[in-house]
Structure 1
Amino acid sequence: MDSVELLDRLGRLRRAQVGAVRVPHKPLLLLWLFGRFATTGSSVASYADAEEPVSRLINQFGPPVRRAAARQRAAMPFVHLERELWDLRNATGGPLGTETPERRRLLIDLHATGRLHEHVERLLADPAVLAAATRMLLDRHFTSALAPVICDTVGLNVATPSEDSRLAVVSRRRRSAAFTERVLRVYAHSCAACGFDGRIGTVPVGIEAAHVRWHSQHGPDDVTNGLALCSLHHTLLDLGVLGLTPDRRLKVSEIYLAQAPAGRAVYDLAGRPLASPRSGEPLIDAEHIAWHDRQVFRNDAA
C-alpha cells in the first residue's frame, strides 16, 4: 500500500447509516487515532483508553442521540473498523474478530487493544500524507466549519497544504464557487440570522455560504440548500447549536450555555425568522431543514 492507495481506501470508507441517520463513528475513531499518532508516534490504543475520548467525539460531532447511549458508542468502530487499516487483539495477543459482541464490559475484560497497521503508520509518518488523510475524512464525512474544531479536539494541525499534487487531488471533493457566489448574492452579502454585513471597502468580510444539508452528506450546491451566514452563526449551525423550524425560523439548542452578554446574544435568535432571499429566489427547501433537524440539531434529548 502506498500513500495514494491509503487515501483511496479512506475515501471508500462507507458513509454508514442506521435507518436514515448518519453514523460517522469510524472516521471519528480514525481522526482520534491520527491525533494520537501525531502526538506520540504510535496509534496503539486499548479500548479502555479510547472509550471516553472517542465516545465524546461521537457524541459531539455525530448525530444527536440520547446521552445514556454515548458511553457505549465507541465500541462499534473499535470492533468494526476495516481490517485493512486496523489490527485488533485481546490480552494474549490473539485476534479479536468482528463478530465480537459490541459490549463495553467485554471489550474491557478482554483488554482489547488496537493499532493501525505498521505500513499505515509508516505512511502517516509523512506529514503530507497525514494531512491529506485527515482532510479526506473531514471532507467526506463532515462540513468545512467543523474541520478546525474537530482537528483542535483530536490534536491535529493540517493547515499546511500537501506539496504532493497526487495527494491534493484525491483528498478533496471540490465545492462549487458558483454556489458561494449565488448564495451570498441572494442574501445581499448579509447574515440571514443576525444581519451582519461587514465590509472592508466594497469587499464583504466574515460572510459565508452555508449548506443546510452538508455537502459531504449529498447536500446539493443549490440556493435551496444554502444560507448566507456570518462565520459565527455558520459554525453554530454546523455544530447543531442553531436549527431551523419548518416555517424557517431559528431555534437554539437547549444544551447551549453562555453567561457573557456576547454569548447570551445567541439566545435572542430563538424564534427569529430567517432573512428572506431576494425577490424571485427560492426559500430553503423543507427537506433540507428536516435533514438538519434530524442529523445535526442538538435537541434536549441529545
Structure 2
Amino acid sequence: MMGDGIDGYAERFARLRTNRNRKGWSGVTAHQAPHKPLLLLCVLDLFESGKVFSNLVEITDDLAELFGRYWERVLPFGRSGNLALPFFHLQSDGFWHLLPKHEDARIGPQISSLSRLQEEVLGARLDEDLYDFVLIKEYRDRLRSVLIETYFSSETRSIVLEQSFINRGAFVYSEELLKHPEDPRVKEALPVEEAYRPAVRDQGFRRAVVTAYRHRCALCGIRVRTLDGHTAVAAAHIVPWSETRDDRPANGMALCRMCHWVFDEGLMWVSSGYEISASPQLTTSANLPGYLTNLEGRGIVGPSQKPFWPDIESLRWHHENVFRAR
C-alpha cells in the first residue's frame, strides 16, 4: 500500500487512471488520454501563482484557460479538450474529492459537461497531506516532473514544461500590470528566463486587458464567452509594442476579431473624448460594413477602473499614424 508521504503521492500521480487506447491516443501522450495530467499541471500552476488560497480547487476562468492552453500546445490539431471530464473523473484516483454545491446534495454518477458540473459541484478538495505538499515549491516541482515524464513523449515534454513556465510567468505579469497600471517599468520585472519572455508578455498582457474590460469589446460592446474559457475578445495594443515596449493596460483595448481588424487597419479611431469615428474607406461602394456603421459617434465601452482607460497620447498616435482619414 502506498504511503501518505510525497513519495506516495508521486507514485499516485504516475499511476493515474486514464483511458489507455493506442488507436485513440498517439505516442505524443504515451497512448493515453492526457486530461487528468493536464488538469493537475494547471492546479500546480495555480498554486505556484498564488491563485489558490485554500484547499479548494474551483472551476474558474483561469483554470479553464490554462487547461485550454496546455491542450492546444500538446494536441494542436487533435480533438478538443473537455475540462469537465478530468475534473469529475479524477476522484477515482483517491486524492481528489468533489464537493457538492448544495448541502446534502448528491453528485451524479456521471458528469461530462461543464454546465452540469458547475451546477452540481462547488469544487474539489485535495487530501490534506497532498494540499500541504503542493504549498511547497520543491514538492510542486517534483509532482510536475512526474506528470510530464510519465504522460508525454520525450519530444513533447519540453513543450509542456515551456507552457508551464509561460502560464506561471504570464499570471504574475498580468497581476503586476493590473496592480500598477501606470508604471511602464513593470515589463522590466518579468519573472522568467529571457527565452520565455515574449510568450509570457503576450499572454500576460492579454489576461490583464481582457480582465480589465470584463471580456467586453470596447468598440461594439459584444461579450460572448464559453464555459471552457474561450472569449470573443482579444487584447489589442493601441500603439504597437514594437514601437514603445508599452504593455500598460492603458495602451490596450479588448476588441472582438472584427473590431480588432478594423482598428488595426485604421478603419476606425477612438477620439480623446472616447468617441468612435469611422474612416471614409469603411463605407466605400464595394464594402458591406453592416453593424460597424452604427458605431460612428458612439462612446467606447471602457473598463470599470479609470486607470485602465485608453491613454490619450496612445490614441493620438493611432490617429496620426494608422487611421485612414481619407
Structure 2 length normalisation: TM-score? 0.41
Higher helix share: 2
TM-score (norm 1): 0.44
